[in-house]
Every structure is written in structure tokens, then in C-alpha cells.
A and B are shown apart, each in its own frame.
Chain A
């Protein structure tokens, strides 16, 4: 279908194939410059937050290699832009849900390095008191309502959280982050339909990194863009460059504003790529399968380097800003990591006490 044919059918912002998108065209054509808005000030902080997420995940990756972190750690290095772009428009009373690859979602909202590190180490001081590990993060005081590794499981919860927000009537919204693999789950399709029928203010954010575990989307779906499911459910949608935080922020901002004004669900497909394997720290191997050779291509689309280049070009940051910011954050990261390593594990009584609302008396009957 040509763009003109799509427009004639009333479908906008949805490519027939991601190969139509500039960002996914042949190597070399896709590190288009990021176009800054007239006031790019918020994107200096966005750059710093993206660097924080990457450096924190690199610290966790090292700990996986060292054998200190044993719980499955799904790293989102290379995918820092979507959570940072979306979070720029959120407030603490919104309700965000994630999945197995949610360190970035969590850090974008909280910046809480120690809480994340302690949790990945199973420590009592972690954000889930050491009961969850990398795959179970929560920080309700910042609006992060939980991430779990069952693929697609939190999508209907986000719909319910949005329904609750609608009942509260304060203009709060829900955000559901998931990957392209989740769009193959029934929970995803049920949730889109239910959200529309309930007119629930939930922003569905699909971080389409083209792979579910080791398997490319071309081997799992007849098309490589998933925004078509939003079209099928009459949900306003956009399919955009997921490594361009400025574009993500612009589109997410419009979608969230529409929901705060009483609108129903919105859908955002961010096309991106993860640099490490499905789980664990390795770049060269993905759950037993040798990595594809397109990693080098995608590294040239680095969301951090692209934003930095635009900000440097605009004279908003000095030429060596990324290195300087990284060095400064490394200190925070090491301090938080060392504290987490020293922290205590949960006490034995936690096992039963934390299962029931009445602190375990029920299970001792």
C-alpha cells in the first residue's frame, strides 16, 4: 500500500511495513538528525536520564557477568528513549505498568538507583523488599504500579488502572509498556477492545524491538508493525522512530493531553532495538542463538548519541557532555551499588508474613 492509498483509507501514521520508515531503511540512511523543538531545555535533562538508565544497566550487566546477580535480568540498553520521552508528560498520580524489561521504565520515573540495585540483589532494602528481583519492580509513590515477566499480563491491569482514574475524575492516566512479543498474546487483544469500550485513558506503548527472545517479528507475524491492531480497535495510534526521544515526547505528549481531557485509549508504537541478548549481559548471543549482524547498524542509531549530537549542534551542551555526565553518574552508581551489596537480605519470617494481608497469622492456622 502506498502512503496515498493509506491516507485514502483514513489510516495515518501507520506504515504497511517498517521498511517504509526512514529509520529502518538501508544502513546509512537512518541516523537522521533529531530535530529539536524551539525550546530544547527539557531534553538536556532527558539526555541525562537516558545516560543514567544505560549506565545503571551496564552496572547490572557487569554484576551478571561477575555472578553477583543471579535473577534473570532483561536489559534495555539501546531502548532508553521511549520511557524517557513518555515520562516527560507524566505526573506522580498517573499509573504505569511494565513487563520483564522494565529497568528503564522504573528509572525514568524514579531515578532510584539504590532501590533497583538492591532489588536485583534480592536485598530487604530493594523497592520490592528483595521479594521480586529485577522482574518485579514497583514505586507507587512515583506512579510505577508494577512490572512482571508474564508477557502481556499487566496490559489489562493498566486498563483497570485507567478505569479507576476515570472513576476518580482527576484527569490521571495509565501507561502500559510492552514489547512486540506481547502483541501475540490474547491479553493484549482483549485489553485493547476492553479499553475502547470502557473509554479508559490508557496509553499503550509498544516498544517494538523486532525480536521476541531470539525470534524476529518477520518469523512471528505477517507484518512487522503492530500499530495495525490499534487501527482494528479504533484506537488513535502512531508508529514512530523509537530511538528519537524528541519525536516520542511530542507524540506521547499529544496523546496524554487528549486522555487528560476525557479521551479514551491511545497507542504508540516505538520502533527500537536492544543491544544485549533477551536475558543477561551478552551482545554476541541471544538465548543460545548467535546475534544477528544488524547490531552494528542499530548502534549507529544510538538514541543517546543522536540526542547528544543535536544538543551539541544547537549549542545547548558542550561537545564532551556525554562523557562528563557519564563520569559524574558513575560515582552515584558505584555508591548506590556498594550500599546495596552491604544491605541485609529479607528475614526468614518474610516468606509467610508477606503472603497475606494479616501478616501470616492466616497461614499459621
Chain B
């Protein structure tokens, strides 16, 4: 039983509610924070993650907008250049692509191309919606694309606590940050203390389960699959270490490399396409930074290189499961 005092400082919270806690903390404690994007005055677009923030903090700081991803993102960037810390919301990654110029060519390069002293502290939050027969234009993740861009931090929380704390860290950071959360994680629960300030600098990959036979590397939703696979493997006597990447740019390769040096087997698990993707980057890091001569066995699990299907028969083929991760790990160990 949790006593009354503990209940005040530590609570079980879902991933979706934890995001809302992050917004509440930021809007409560930082008058320079506001949020802008489509659907913010509707409970429908962003699930439980922003419920009633407009009523709590007012429509001048929680701004619903016209259907203009580009201008909304550009306006958030402009306000960020003038002393604010805006969070622009894109309820689906797919629609955010209309604002790619502002994210990739403007915000990410602003510091460098103006000499290094000017900050563009805008946070771009986009939600990955997978499956559910939503098809090719409602299901993209594309985190590898964006993690390719110097100057743009990319974070992908896998747990409820990270969903809250990495949001706070993103907004308090002086660089533009793309924060990608995943609808398939919204019901994940975790006990966490009250929110506080978090620095994004120094946040990197984390070993969330220790093991010695094989390293499973995931980010966002695939971290959950890696954890479930590790639990299944443990019942067979296979000890899997799980690394949650958390921050994709700048990528913390050191944690993965150290784990690989211990297990000599790495499965990179990525909920995106294979070609030129994050899984390839992880395996390349391990291959080129190997510290001893022991051969390292490498494998990757990704979506097939095809647009996400609508038919649920094809969805079963497109989306992999924890069982698939465990199967691949067994092959490397065996």
C-alpha cells in the first residue's frame, strides 16, 4: 500500500496523462511557454495528452489554428526567436511534412547560419499513429529522416516518465527539438515523482534492462517490444540487455557500443523502414567502433520497405511484434 505522503510525491501515471503533466508543468512554471497547433481546442486530435489545457491556461496560450502546418510552425519559430518557448503541435507526423522547410531548413540551421549565438528554442511535437487501418498517409514515423539533420534535436520517449520529462527537457533546451510520441504507448503506466526541471543536454541512451547474451536496441514503441522480448527470452535462459535510445539526435552511440562490447550480439529494432534508416546507423556505429577483435553478430528488424498498408491482413505483415524480436535474438544467440 502506498501511504498518503507517498501518493503526493509518486503517482502511477499513463503515458498520455504524463504528456499532459509535462504541459501543465511547463505552462504553470514558464510564462514564456505557449502551445499552438491544430486540434488544441478539441479532445479528439491529441488523445488524453492535452485535455482541457485551453480551459486551464486560456486560449491565448493554448492556441488552435487554421489548417496551416507551415505557417503555424514558422510562427512558432518566429516567436522562439523573440524570447518565447513555443510548442507547436502536429497531431500526425504525416501532416507535419508540410512544415518541413521550417523545421529542417530554417529552425535546425538558424544557429549555425547566423553565427552560433542565436537560439531558436522551438519544440515541435508530432504524434506517430500506427496501424488501425489508417494506411500510408496516417502512419509515418520518419524519425530517421529528421535525426539526419544537424542542429535539430530529436527525442522519442518510450516510457510514461520520459514522455513527461523529455517534453519538459525539450522545451527548456535552447535548440529546436522534434519530440515524437507514439499513440501505441498512451496506455503504458509508470510510477513517477512530481515533475521538475530537466536538462536535455546529457540525456542519452539508457540501459533499461541488463543482460549478457544479446543487446536489443529500440526507441519509442520498439523499446516496449524489446522489453517484452527480453522477458520472454529470460524464461528460456537467454539474458537480453535492452537499450532505449531516447534521444536520436545527437545520437548517444557510446551506450550502445558499450553494451555490444559486453554481449557481442546486437539486434537493432526500429519502427520505420530499413533502407538508410536508424537501424542501419546503430549497426554501423557498433561495427566501426568495436573495441576488440571478437566478431559481433548484427541483425535489424524494421518495417518492410513499403508504405503502410490499410488492409489489416497486410498490416499483420507490416508491423512486427515482440515475438519477432525474440525470434531474431534467438537466431543470433543460437
A positions within 8 Å CB-CB of B: 95, 97, 126-132, 136, 138, 140, 145-146, 148, 150, 153-165, 167-168, 174, 186-187, 190-191, 193-194, 197-198, 200, 350, 353-358, 361-363, 365
Contact = CB atoms under 8 A, between A and B. Distances in A.
Contact of B252 (A140, A198, A365): A365
B150 A355 contact: yes
Nearest to A350: B116
B105 interface: yes
Contacts of B77: 156-157, 160
Interface stretch (B18-26, B107-115, B182-190): B107-115
Given A197-B66, A355-B150, A365 B116 contact: no
The 5 closest A-B pairs by CB, nearest first: A156-B74, A160-B78, A354-B116, A129-B115, A160-B75
Nearest to B250: A362
Contacts of B251: 365
Contacts, number: 161
A131 B106 contact: no
B60 interface: yes
Given A131-B116, A164-B78, 7 more contacts: A129-B115, A131-B113, A148-B113, A164-B79, A194-B68, A356-B111, A363-B150
Contact of B175 (A97, A150, A357): A357
Nearest to A146: B114
A140 B106 contact: no
Contacts of B113: 128, 131-132, 136, 148
B254 A153 contact: no
A140 B118 contact: yes
Interface residues of B, number: 49
A344 to B, nearest CB: 14
Given A167-B60, A197-B66, A355-B111, A159 B250 contact: no
B250 to A, nearest CB: 4
A190 B70 contact: yes
Given A129-B115, A357-B119, A164 B83 contact: yes
B75 A194 contact: yes
B139 to A, nearest CB: 24
Contacts of A97: 78
A190 B68 contact: yes
A196 to B, nearest CB: 10
A187 B112 CA distance: 23
Contacts of B112: 131, 354-355
B106 A132 contact: no
